[in-house]
Amino acid sequence: MKKAFITGVTGQDGSYLAELLLTKGYEVWGLVRRTSVFNRERIEHIYLNKKNENFKMIYGDLSDSSNLSGIIYELEPDEVYNLAAQSHVGISFEIPEYTSDVVGTGTVRLLDAIKKSKKKIKFYQASSSEIFGKVHEKIQSESTPFYPRSPYACSKAFAFYITRNYREAYNLFAANGILFNHESPRRGENFVTRKITLSIARIIKGLQNELTLGNLDAKRDWGYAPDYVEGMWRMLQHNKPDDFVLATGETHTVREFVEKSFNIANIDIQWEGKGANEIGINKSNGDVLVKVSEKYFRPSEVDILQGNSEKAKTVLGWENKTTFDQLIEKMVNADIDYVNKYNFIYK
Ligand code: NAP
Ligand code: F7E
């Protein structure tokens, strides 16, 4: 039985990856942080009632090197997936030092623990399309130069290079997955897609009046998280360690995401005004449903991302499966169900 260790198992991707590896017969160990309230909603269905004897949790933190070395020494996993991060780009401007420590130095801590192990351990690093930032090429691939635009992206660029360096210097099987945005009903509530779909569900239910956003014109290449964790696993099954882009190849504006999400709820949005004064109105009754606030603008923005995952297709046989419209439909419908079930929380 193969043993995998996942950092960030309580996050969106970690939860889907744990499910995938369990179906493939792995013993899965997930790193969890001590928190004053439990935050294990995304993985509870995996372990409650001893449903999966092969799923185990272990306390730790990417800021604690002795803890990480101890875990690697004790577990001797076959594969390590480093998904833990302070992953919010906007918030990284407010907590840059902490973000660099966890996202950047945290990766070296883990790599160094693996380097010292007697066992040949394969390592996956959750790299990000944010490293392309102010893009040098219209469509970004593994060969596109980096131009990071936030403390988060600068830290991910460092983590990318240190992963490659440990691969070359110490012959580690260490792979970088440069993943473009991927979303799901498990996406954190303060990322733009989930903020939109959850707000729409609350608006329909009468629990919220309007949705306030930042830059409506930013463009992203949005995929579906369960498709992407399959690509992570494939990277570690390949015969040599390498770096791969995973993306849909399409790009859409935040504005488009808003319009299509409201459409699922049979609401047509009409835009009026410009910049911070722009509003989105319900065409049928004139209600203001969307507002813009400068509070959500970033000090330096990534205007557009669009990925080319041809290499992952050719070498790993990985392809994006879920369309933009299917993703939106899944997220809006899941949030409508969620709010119907738990609406008392928001009253
Ligand atoms: P997420 O939902 O924000 O999950 C982040 C995970 O990291 C959570 O389990 C969190 O634990 C954990 N974590 C945060 N700080 C930690 C620390 N100091 N020590 C240990 N664990 C810590 O992120 P995601 O969307 O699943 O993304 C997974 C990884 O892929 C991240 O590294 C992210 O930067 C990267 N990435 C994501 C995307 C995307 O579009 N989703 C694209 C490219 C790259 P708590 O639950 O305790 O907070
Ligand atoms: O923003 C704009 C915002 O926070 C997307 C992380 O998983 O993907 C994610 O980073 C865009 C940006 O994701 C709001 O300015 C407008 O242009 O959903 P986001 P992100 O910054 O692209 C990458 C690949 C990662 O690696 C990261 O870990 O939407 N936007 N209005 C807004 N964004 C937010 N959060 N909230 C708004 O109200």
Say what the pLDDT of residue 179 is: 99
Alpha-carbon span 241 to 171, nearest angstrom:
9
List the one residue out of 31, 125, 28 whose CA is nearest residue 83: 125
Alpha-carbon span 42 to 186, nearest angstrom:
7
Other beta carbons less than 10 A from residue 213's beta carbon? 24
Mean pLDDT throughout 170-174?
Answer: 98
Ligand 2 atom showing the smallest separation from residue 212 Cα: 38
Q: Residue 147 carries which side chain, given as an amino acid letter?
A: Y
Element (H, E) at 31: strand 27-32
Q: Whose CA is nearest to atom 30 of ligand 1?
A: 126
What is the tens place of the pLDDT at every residue in 179-201?
Answer: 999 999 999 999 999 999 999 99
| 223 ligand 1 Cβ < 6 A | no
What is the tens place of the pLDDT at every residue in 80-126?
Answer: 999 999 999 999 999 999 999 999 999 999 999 999 999 999 999 99
Q: Percentage of the chain with pLDDT > 90?
A: 97
Mean pLDDT throughout 209-218?
Answer: 98
The backbone region for 145, taken as left when phi is positive above 0, alpha when psi lies in -120 to 50, beta otherwise, is beta
Say what the pLDDT of residue 346 is: 47
Structure tokens at 95: 């907590």
The rounded Å distance from CA 84 to ligand 1 centre is 4
Please list the alpha-helical segments (H only) found in the chain. Answer: 12-23, 44-47, 65-75, 89-92, 96-99, 106-116, 151-170, 192-204, 225-237, 254-264, 310-311, 324-342
Q: Whose CA is nearest to atom 44 of ligand 1?
A: 128
List the one residue out of 34, 40, 36 whose CA is nearest residue 18: 40
- Residues 174, 123 contacting (CB under 8 angstroms): yes
Say what the pLDDT of residue 50 is: 80
The rounded Å distance from CA 330 to ligand 2 centre is 19
pLDDT band at 344 (very low <50, low <70, confident <90, very high): low
pLDDT of residue 343 exceeding 70, the answer is: no
- The overall average pLDDT reported for the chain is 97
Q: Whose CA is nearest to atom 5 of ligand 2?
A: 192
Mean pLDDT throughout 159-165?
Answer: 99
pLDDT of residue 263 exceeding 70, the answer is: yes
List the one residue out of 105, 123, 94, 21 whose CA is nearest residue 65: 105
- Residues 82, 8 contacting (CB under 8 angstroms): yes
Say what the pLDDT of residue 243 is: 98
Q: Whose CA is nearest to atom 41 of ligand 1?
A: 182
Q: Whose CA is nearest to atom 13 of ligand 2?
A: 191
| 133 ligand 2 Cβ < 6 A | no
Mean pLDDT throughout 123-151?
Answer: 98
Alpha-carbon span 231 to 155, nearest angstrom:
22
Say what the pLDDT of residue 120 is: 97
Structure tokens at 143: 């060969």
Ligand 2 atom showing the smallest separation from residue 153 Cα: 26
List the one residue out of 44, 57, 55 whose CA is nearest residue 1: 55
pLDDT of residue 347 exceeding 50, the answer is: no
List the one residue out of 81, 29, 345 whose CA is nearest residue 189: 345
| 251 ligand 2 Cβ < 6 A | no
SS3 call for 232:
helix
What is the tens place of the pLDDT at every residue in 284-332?
Answer: 999 999 999 999 999 999 999 999 999 999 999 999 999 999 999 999 9
The rounded Å distance from CA 172 to ligand 2 centre is 32
Alpha-carbon span 80 to 123, nearest angstrom:
5
The rounded Å distance from CA 89 to ligand 2 centre is 7
Starting from the CA of residue 160, give the closest ligand.
Answer: 1
| 163 ligand 1 Cβ < 6 A | no
Q: Percentage of the chain with pLDDT > 70?
A: 99
